[in-house]
Amino acid sequence: MKNRKDDNVNLENKKTLFFLIGLVVTLSVVLVAFEWKTYERNLMDLGQLNVDIEDEIIPITQRQQQPPPPPPPAPPEVIQIVENEAEIDEIKFESTEMDESEEIEFVEEVEEETDEIFNFAVVENKPVYPGCEKLATEEEKFNCFNQSIMKHISKNFKFPEMARQMGIQGKVYVNFVIERDGSISNVTIARGVDKLLDDEAIRTVKTLPKFQPAKQRGKSVRMQYTVPINAKLQ
């Protein structure tokens, strides 16, 4: 039978080496144990500290109060004698009684026309569009006024070709004033979209006909109004 043991891996050959290593480790531990030192923990006495604190003596002082200064002498009294010879002007009162033969003239106050611009919501009588005069009530006339303005604008507004090519559209709000004679003035843009549409909106509003002006207390007044113009591409 063949022996399969290898002499190179046999532990019996290294027994002496292991013994020496163990012996060195044991001697090292014994040496360290003998050299280890311990100390007793005792409180150290630092001695006594003598500190002499001398009390500081603060002298007490008293402030002498000075007497108040004497009051100033009173001014001498001067008595002036005035002679009783002053002249007094007599006041003449005119009589307020009227003679029956005197004629009384009554002057009528002429109210001057002012440049105040009223809002359409506060005027007593709103302006009337031509052709809406025959309606019975103020509400019907004002509805006709609004509808007629929108018809006029939709008929006369010409969409700018440049704005059509650029795809510009939107709602333009135009302010204007109806004067005392019914004409249109002060046409401005309250809220615009583009200069092309704004200019055309102003031109269209200026073509509105003359209205019957708004009235306040029976007199013609200036009134401001805003109209929206919805410019949309079709």
pTM (global) more than 0.75: no
* Residue 96 domain-assigned (yes or no): no
* CATH code where residue 195 lies: 3.30.1150
| Count: domains in the chain | 1
* Residue 42 domain-assigned (yes or no): no
* Residue 25 domain-assigned (yes or no): no
* Residue 57 domain-assigned (yes or no): no
* Residue 180 domain-assigned (yes or no): yes
* Residue 144 domain-assigned (yes or no): yes
Task: Tell me the backbone φ, ψ of residue 165, rounded to 5 degrees.
Answer: -70, -35
For residues 131 and 229, the answer to whether their CB atoms sit within 8 Å is: no
* 10-residue averages of pLDDT along the chain (234 residues): 58 74 85 73 52 48 69 66 56 58 58 75 90 89 92 92 90 94 93 92 94 91 92 82
For residues 198 and 192, the answer to whether their CB atoms sit within 8 Å is: yes
HEC string for 171-196:
EEEEEEEECCCCCEEEEEEEECCCHH
* Residue 59 domain-assigned (yes or no): no
**pLDDT at residue 51, as a whole number:** 43
Would you state the structure tokens that stand for residue 143, as one six-digit string?
A: 């509805």
**pLDDT at residue 210, as a whole number:** 93
* Residue 218 domain-assigned (yes or no): yes
- H or E element at residue 23: helix 15-35
Would you state the structure tokens that stand for residue 76, as one six-digit string?
A: 């001498």
**pLDDT at residue 14, as a whole number:** 72
**pLDDT at residue 30, as a whole number:** 84
For residues 157 and 174, the answer to whether their CB atoms sit within 8 Å is: no
Q: CB under 8 Å, gap of 24 or more: what pairs does 11-19 form?
A: none
- List Cα–Cα distances, 188 to 43, 138, 179, 199, in angstroms: 103, 27, 15, 10
- H or E element at residue 141: helix 138-156
DSSP state of 13: G
Range(s) of the domain holding residue 219 = 117-231
CA distance 232 to 213: 31
Which residues does 197 contact at the CB level (< 8 Å), separation at least 6?
Answer: 160, 163, 168, 169, 170, 172, 231
